[in-house]
Amino acid sequence: MRRTALPLGVTLLSALLATPPALAAPAMEVAVTRVEAQPAGPAGDCPTTVGFSAVVTATGRGTVGYRWVRGDGGTSAVKSLRVNGTRKTVVTDRQTYDRATSGWQAIEILGEDGLSAKARFDVTCSGTAARYDAAHPLPARPGGPLAVVASVQVSPPVHRGPCPASLTFTGTVQVSRTPAKVDYRWIDSATGEGRLESLFFPAGGPRGRQVVLPLSAGGSASGWKAIRLLTPGQDSGRAAYEVTCTPGRATRSPSPSPTTGSPRPTTPRPSPPPQMSPRPTPTGTPTPTGTPTPTGTATPTATQTPTTAPPATPEARIVAVTPGDYAGDCLEPVGYQATGRISLPAGPATKVTYGWILDGAAWQRQVLDFPAADQPRTQDVSAAWNIDRDGAGTHTLGLMTEGEPVTRQFTFACTDDPGDARLTFHYLLTPVFQGVCHGSIGLRGDGLVTTDREAEVKYRLVVDGKPGVIRTEVLKPGVKSKIGDFWYSARRTSGTGVVRLEVLNHNRPAMQQPYSLTCETASPGTVEIDELWSLAYYGDCVDAPYVSAHGRFRAAPGTEITFRWVTDGNPVAPVTRTVGQSGLLEVQAASWDRPERKDGTVALEALDHNKPVRQAGYPVTCEP
């Protein structure tokens, strides 16, 4: 079995994760309704948080696997629901946004084609909320209403080098007065909300506390974490990270199982733990007098019962394995996540060594720091790894502190049939962008393909090496069909990149070409064209190239704009539309063909107000 291990140190994963023993059986009937975003149009200061919910109704017996699919190309971790009869459940997700943006989220049921209805949102927050962190204390308001703010920093935000790599997320929570109790959750870009946590601020004590969340990444990864306050207050912004692993000397990663295929379930015997030095406390974030002071990661709650004598060994348990028993497609390695929980009674500061074991292979041991407390203490630990189609069979996961590990078994099976249809690419369209690079630019890549027989085709975009969501289309033989997807670019400077459109089954054809962004400074005016991007054509030119263009106006909400497109010097009929509450108006030109089979130009003109105009070229490249 080929397995890529990615241990994630002390990570607070979603408390909503259940242990899914199987994916939906073919006879299972599943319906997704009431897919909503709340609030759908938040306004005010950034950052702001949007919650998503949907009602999943399943009838049958087994387990339904599902995940959230996001309009920016991201997905949540796979989650599951156990069903025995009929079950109706509300599933949720939550995302934090640092700037005005719009988009959608939908539910994908594993094993079924297509997505649910989309929950659309339009974030209209402006500017940024006042910055309060460890170096910027929240003003005191004795006797006044309680104000609460949160912030998060990650160190280092970018790692390029050998792996595993260690990152540390440091969250700061401040209150305007004491005493106070603050409830919060960590939010992760992939897994959503973590478990409920509480911080206590005693009377006369510091008005700030820090929570530390280490992350050990054993492979290339990117994402963000934030803190959501359940006690009314100002949520933190995103602390984004990016890990790119390169060859080099690094600490030992989990070794693969000595067997492949279907390993027999066994109780793994751990190897002796290596000698380890205490984990260093994160540094680099100043702590002013009377403001946040480090407290570690364990947080006692008001409902816990104090004890005085710690046991000889800590208590460990595996809380969840996601997606658990798996039966589905294996077009790419399936990502697994596990959550464990290690508990200690009240007592002095203590270090606990723990490690994960997968199919008898012990992973590198890690150390948890438990601060002194007069109440029981718990910390969550997690691991993540990938299994490909060679890993069919039963697997055993273990979590060990001292003595024998606790274990959990799960099965893995691939049910997809790659098929033998032959697909051919005819062209690929990539964006040529000009405008204001504000860090959230919506772009598309599209290709034209034909197949020699009816085929269910699974495909995805890979932009600058980062794969997007897998999409599914049923193609008819001999019919030229358009497939593609869109993504959001975080660029703020001019540059180029590479778009790859790849089919993941059948004969697995792929096509890749460059895309470009030319970033400009925003120009003031009543109406502004802050985006115009055309499509570059790369293809066989058997048919006349068929292209389009996209633009965006920025103006005060409610502004009526009359505009027109001009393609290769030929104006089309004017159109009048109204700017929405976000202050943005997205427009698209009707597609047109280019019989001359050479480069052309497209312009977007506003015919009223201050009459801004923007023009772009679109290259046509004929290839054999």
- Domain assignment present for residue 63? The answer is yes
C-alpha dihedral (473, 479, 480, 481), degrees to nearest 10: -20
Give the model's confidence band at 551: pLDDT under 50 very low, under 70 low, under 90 confident, else very high: very high
Q: What is the pTM of this model?
A: 0.56
Backbone φ, ψ for residue 304 (5° rounding): -80, 150
User: How many structural domains does the chain have?
Assistant: 2
- Domain assignment present for residue 226? The answer is no
Q: What is the CA radius of gyration of the chain?
A: 27
- Domain assignment present for residue 488? The answer is yes
At residue 429, the pLDDT reads 95
Check: CB of residue 79 under 8 Å from CB of residue 17. Answer: yes
At residue 15, the pLDDT reads 32
Residue 447 has pLDDT above 90, yes or no: yes
Last residue of a domain, one of 123, 154, 172: 123
Last residue of a domain, one of 123, 156, 191: 123
**Three-state SS letters, 565-619:** EEECCEECCCEEEECCCCCEEEEECCCEECCCCCCEEEEEEECCCCCCEEEEEEC
The domain in which residue 77 lies consists of 12-123
Last residue of a domain, one of 85, 105, 123: 123
Residue 590 has pLDDT above 70, yes or no: yes
The CATH number of the domain where 91 resides is what?
2.60.40.10
- Domain assignment present for residue 442? The answer is yes
- Domain assignment present for residue 569? The answer is yes
Residue with tokens 């393609």: 567
- Domain assignment present for residue 265? The answer is no
At residue 509, the pLDDT reads 93
Average pLDDT score over residue span 248-276: 36
Q: Report pLDDT digits (tens) over 455-472.
A: 889 899 999 988 888 888
343: its two tokens: 């508990």
Q: Report pLDDT digits (tens) over 300-332.
A: 444 444 444 545 579 999 987 877 888 777 777
Give percent above pLDDT 90 in the chain. 34
Q: Report pLDDT digits (tens) over 60-79.
A: 988 888 888 888 777 787 78
Average pLDDT score over residue span 540-554: 92
Runs of H (alpha helix) within 313-375: none
C-alpha to C-alpha distance for 329 and 322, rounded to whole angstroms: 16
Q: Which one has a higher pLDDT value, 368 or 154?
A: 154
Check: CB of residue 420 under 8 Å from CB of residue 506. Answer: yes
- Domain assignment present for residue 322? The answer is no
- Domain assignment present for residue 560? The answer is yes
**Three-state SS letters, 414-438:** ECCCCCCCCEEEEEEEEEEEEECCC
Residue 169 has pLDDT above 60, yes or no: yes
